[in-house]
Structure 1
Amino acid sequence: MVQIIETIDVDVPVRTAYDQWTQFESFPKFLDEVESITQLDETHTHWKVKVGGAEREFDAEITEQHPDERVAWHSVGGETHHAGVVTFHKLTDTSARVTVQIDWEPEGLLEKVGSFIGAGSHAVKKDLKNFKEFIEARGVETGAWRGDVPA
């Protein structure tokens, strides 16, 4: 199991950062390896990703979600095995810290080599930078889901 933890500060209120993160179908705009996400219901999504040229599909379940604080998930079914949590921390009225922790099981030689040289961490860092640029350029979220999913 590989663990990745990355953090970035964004110059938008914590509510704006959190609300944008709940718009899973917008992820392809800032997550490089994500082709599409379909929101199936309040706690289930279907992902299509392309990692190292290999296309994969999997479902994910939101296991915990608290507005302006955290979103946790894990994969269900399929070949891809991962889990994670994104936390949101108010820094000031106009800035927030976003921290991503992902635990995943590399599959195949390419992913195992990639995890050994830190490719996953670099990808998450780049995706967070893309998220920062996306949300700061917009200044407002594209939507919001303020529901609470207890652990």
Structure 2
Amino acid sequence: MSFRTGLAAGAGGALAVLSVRHLGRRALGGVVQRLEKRLERAVRDLTAKAEQGGPLVKAALAGAKALYEGKSPFRALLSFGWTALKETLARIFGRGRRGKPTNIVEQTDIGAPRRLVYDQWTLFQEYPSFMKNVESVDQADETKLNWKAKIFWSRRTWESTITEQVPDRHIVWRSKGPKGHVDGTVSFHEPAPNLTRVLLVLEYHPVGLFERTGNLWRAQGRRARLELKHFSRHVMMRSLTRPDEIEGWRGEIRDGEIVTTPK
């Protein structure tokens, strides 16, 4: 065999090998694409079935999807655990239903005249300056207030309507909000001269998983107790030092309507 003949044969063999490899890659690519499509269909089918399954089924699906998306086994395990927790809590507390109301009763005695304590209470827009969770209070009129508060890492907004207000006696309100609401009454009593007892009665209506969980742990009651302490401290440390500057609203409200206005 001549040198040219051998060279041609070698080139032909190399081309044949390259062709086989190219065809192999194409075939392998087709197999991979078919497998990916089957896997996508399987994930979709599992997702549809998981909607009818229990917490562990949904958690397992979350872990499988995490692995499918290229996450590490550790992160997939975290997805599994977190989904299991959320689904279990959702089963316990329900989804989208309103929880049972929680009744909260708190009281505090303040060493100050009842009129001064009452007047300070009616200055709602000052609340953010001494209460921990209240961020803002916008008083639209004598009966309507818009509140914004921070609860843990989340913010809450709601509107309250004063339905009854008698100076130095009591204030009754109703409220509404997307994440639960609080209806309540605060009354002012005078067990002794220059001693005022503030009695706060709340009915908390939670909405949503987070709110119902907090309801179970009585977190709202603890917050109400804490804010009442902040109010008491503010009266003792600030209001008593400048009583002439405390000008509360002394009108009267009945059935949501103003029946008397301050003179």
String of CA shifts for 1:8-55, please: whole Å, max 9, x gaps: 000111111110110110111333221000111010111111112211
Counterpart of 1:94, as a letter, is N
**Rg comparison, structure with higher value:** 2
- Which has the larger share of strand? 1
54-63 vs 73-82, which deviates more?
73-82
Could you tell me which amino acid in structure 2 is paired with residue 7 of structure 1? Q
TM-score, scaled to structure 1 = 0.92
Tell me what 2:234 maps to: 134
Q: Secondary structure at the match of 1:38?
A: strand
Question: Relative to structure 2, which stretch is displaced further, 50-59 or 82-91?
Answer: 50-59
Relative to structure 1, the CA distance from residue 102 to residue 30 in structure 2 (aligned partners, 3 Å threshold; closer, same or farther) is farther
The aligned length equals 151
Identity in percent: 36
Separation in structure 2 between the aligned mates of residue 107 and residue 50 of structure 1, nearest angstrom: 16
User: Higher relative CO (CA 8 A, sep ≥ 6), structure 1 or 2?
Assistant: 1
Residue 175 of structure 2: aligned partner: 75
Show the counterpart of 1:124: 224
Alpha-carbon shift at residue 79 of structure 1 (Å)? 4.2
TM-score normalized with structure 2 length:
0.54
Contact map agreement 1:40 1:46 (CA 8 A) in 2: yes
- Cα contact 1:13–1:92 (8 A) shared by 2: no
**The structure with more helix, counted as a fraction of residues:** 2
Question: Unmatched 5+ residue regions in structure 1?
Answer: none
State the shift of 1:113 in Å: 2.1
Tell me which residue corresponds to 1:143: 247
Counterparts of 1:119 and 1:79 in 2: how far apart (Å)? 15
In the alignment, the residues of structure 2 paired with residue 67 and residue 5 of structure 1 have an alpha-carbon distance, to the nearest angstrom, of: 21
Greater Cα shift, 138-147 or 86-95: 138-147
SS class of match (1:143): coil
| Correspondence list, 1:15-34, <5 A | 15-34=115-134
3-state SS, counterpart of residue 50 of structure 1: strand
Q: Give, in angstroms, the shift of residue 6 of structure 1.
A: 0.2
Partners of 1:54 and 1:85 lie apart in 2 by 26
Aligned to 2:212: 112
**Shift of residue 72 of structure 1?**
0.8
**Structure 2 residue runs without a partner (length 5+):** 1-100, 256-263
- Counterpart in 2 of 1:14? 114
Structure 1 pair 6–13 and aligned structure 2 pair: CA distance change class (3 A): same
Displaced runs of 4+ in structure 1, greater than 3 A? 76-80
The one-letter code sitting in structure 2 at the alignment partner of 1:142 is: I
Q: Partners in 1 of 2:218 and 2:182 — Cα distance?
A: 16
